[in-house]
Amino acid sequence: MATSTPLNPGTPLDLARLREVRVNQPAVARRVAGLNGSRSVKKEYQAAWLVRAIQCMDLTTLAGDDTPGRVRRLAAKARRPLRGDLMEALGLEQLHVGAVCVYHEMVAEAVAHLAGSGIPVAVVSTGFPAGLTPMETKLREIELSVAAGAAEVDIVISRRLALTHDWAALYDEIKAFRAACGPAHLKAILATGELQTLENVARASWVAMMAGADFIKTSTGKESVNATLDVSLVMVRALREFCAETGQLVGYKPAGGISTARAATQYLALMKEELGNRWLAPDLFRFGASSLLTDIERQLEHHVTGHYSAAHRHAMP
């Protein structure tokens, strides 16, 4: 699990390539129906997939009442996401999540409590979740978070630029965010639930990757519609085509509304079938999740003991 992907250098904006992007919506619906209807794993195979889901999880707290104590507890959970008896029964010597995601105000606290763990701190930025702050403020916010120790920056795009098809302006915006990130990885949140059409989603994905995004991410988790399998299929196929044309690997992060172990395995199956095993590592795939870990823990305890426990026995910070 020690794999890492070089930063995406981006490519020049290719408007002709964007105009070629099309989405066959009936075909997307058929593919998603197949995922919903037939992808199920059991017993030790299910346990292995759920352990991988934990490794690819951005453990997140993005609330107005966040405190240093909550972040400290979140960091402890990130270091040790499963109880010791479950770890032993599953034959696991060590296990941790993919990252801890917080607001800027809590970056230094998270960095301090994750020191030496190898777990990166991700920060939401650029006026998250609406992205309606001045550009100068957005860039300074990124710079301050990276200076505080954030290794990953989850930016939000200006949705109006995608809705009005001002792809050049969107490219320039993300390119500026990429420059402000310096050595940190840039994760571009497209807020797909607000982009109205799957073609807008596909084209915004392409623009983000051309501009240097290291990850493309569905949602802030604050929209009325967050991650869905149809949007995810469109985005991962954009990833596949971009990699085929440029050789650059770009990661994917579905976020918002993924709260069950079954849903997690569906997304993992989608990644495996569309992109292959390489995209089943935390440097290329993440779940944006806060409650998902609880259900995964319950499923793993059932695998070990044969009994389901109450959710409160797997308390989150």
> Which residue in 1, 8, 4 sits closest to 177, CA to CA?
8
Catalytic residue among 154, 214, 230, 283: 154
Compute the distance between CA of residue 47 and CA of residue 300 in angstroms, rounded to an integer: 6
In the DSSP assignment, the letter for residue 7 is: -
Alpha-carbon torsion (266, 41, 53, 237), positive or negative: negative
d(CA 279, CA 249): 9
Do the Cβ atoms of 157 and 204 come closer than 8 Å? yes
Tokens of 315: 């308390």
Q: Which residue type, as a one-letter code, is found at position 137?
A: T
Question: Catalytic residue among 217, 230, 283, 295, which?
Answer: 217
Active-site entry in 77, 138, 187, 253: 253
Distance CA 61, CA 59 (A): 7
Q: Give the C-alpha separation, 138 to 20, whole Å.
A: 31
Distance CA 31, CA 209 (A): 24
Specify which residues 100 forms β-bridges with: 59, 121
Q: What share of the chain is helix, strand, coil (3-state, %, to 5)?
A: 50, 10, 40
| Both structure tokens of 103 | 């607001």
CA separation for the pair 287, 290 (Å, rounded):
9
As given in the structure block, the two tokens for residue 250 are 């770009």
187 is catalytic: no
Helix axes 261-275 and 229-246, enclosed angle (nearest 10)? 30
42 catalytically annotated: no
How many angstroms from the chain centroid is the CA of residue 57? 8
Q: How many residues does the chain have?
A: 317
Catalytically annotated residues: 154, 217, 253
